[in-house]
Chain A
Amino acid sequence: MTIRFRLAAILAICGFLVFASTGVSYALWTARATATSTIAAGNIDVSQTGFESLQYTFAPNSRVRGGELTIHNTGTLGASYTAVFTVADSTSFAAAVTVQAWVKPDGGSCAIARASITGTWASMPPLTGTLDAGTSTIYCLSTSVSAPTAAHAGSVTPAVTVTSTLGGWSTIAGPVRVTQNTK
């Protein structure tokens, strides 16, 4: 053990004693509070009814068929919806059937046509809107053909699919299909 080593050891002891003896401790008090919560996510769901009422065979003396499409938000959160009309095979008869849609007024009926969305089964604009949870909206639908000439005879099978979306969530009701034709 050299004198240098011993000196270093003594200085270390000395330093330890100095700091140990001056030992101010800094234990600090602590406290804690909490806020707890259980949260639940809702869901979206949608249903549709009434489109089946458009199933019809047009005749020379009955060239109009009306019906209702009810879109119901059966989820637990408000969401937007889109009702899209499609036809499996776009025939000339699909373009010959005129389709009108409008929102049925509260307490009213579909007897009187209102400002509407108009198209044909070949190109019908979608119906869009927003529904709160548990609420529904009713659309009046009117389909018609002009004078049943040979060019306006045939059959078409339109379908409606309702999609409800909320952010990245989506759900679908349908498609529901009907057949319209001529005698």
Chain B
Amino acid sequence: MTRFSLARRTGRHVRRAGAGRRLAGTAALLAGSVAVALIGTGGTYALWNDSAVAGMGTIRSGSTAITVNGVQDYRIPTDARLLGPGHPLLSTLTVKNSGTTSVTAKVSTTSVTQTGALADNLTATLTSLPAGGSCSAGLPGGLTAPLIGYTTTVQVLPVGAVIELCLEIKMIANAGTTTQNGTATYIMTFDAVQVRP
């Protein structure tokens, strides 16, 4: 009985010693991982330190901003012009990076409401105008797509960059008679994202 009990105690001690070693090993590995992590942060923990008082300085943050024809929310005047087959509507849009960071910008229609299914039968074309160029129908080199869901690719606009765009809203060739007297209101959105420094 005594021997048996002794034997059992001895076995427990062996298992406890093994667990202790594994715990110690785990702790060592954790300590190592923390050390690696600290190395990763590039932090040093030297105890020496010093300090100096910097002069009063002003820190200014930059800004990201984009404007269309000088404002953030531009209302395109229609001048009572009416749309029809062969009667497109033209607008010149001046897009400017008015912030202090370079941006990538893209254009998309984010809202379209309509009557008479007019918008369903419209296309939009955005064409970059050369310096001094005028906005006219059928300019080559533009991106033409249905007005609903219109999206351009992104383009980099450096700080202060100005792009002149010709916007042509046109009725598709086979637009039906039901589109007569229809209306459409659309919001063309210019989204700018700061270029990663």
Mark A residues whose CB is within 8 Å of B. Answer: 3, 6-7, 10-11, 13-14, 17-22, 26, 28-44, 76-78, 166-171
Contacts and interface: CB of A to CB of B under 8 A. Distances in A.
Given A42-B180, A168-B175, A168-B177, A35 B74 contact: yes
B190 A34 contact: yes
Interface of B: 22, 26, 29-30, 32-34, 36-38, 40-42, 62-69, 71-76, 78, 82-87, 89, 91, 93, 95, 99, 101, 103, 110, 116, 118, 122, 167, 169, 171, 173-177, 179-196
Contact of B190 (A22, A28, A33): A33
A168 to B, nearest CB: 5
B118 A41 contact: yes
Nearest to B86: A167
Nearest to A19: B40
A38 B78 contact: yes
A19 B184 CA distance: 51
B64 A29 contact: yes
A31 B63 CA distance: 9
A28 to B, nearest CB: 4
B179 A41 contact: yes
Q: Give the most central of A3, A7, A22, A41: most B CB within 10 Å.
A: A41
5 contacts: A33-B189, A34-B72, A36-B75, A42-B83, A168-B173
Given A21-B38, A42-B180, A169 B74 contact: no
A43 B84 CA distance: 7
A36 B73 contact: yes
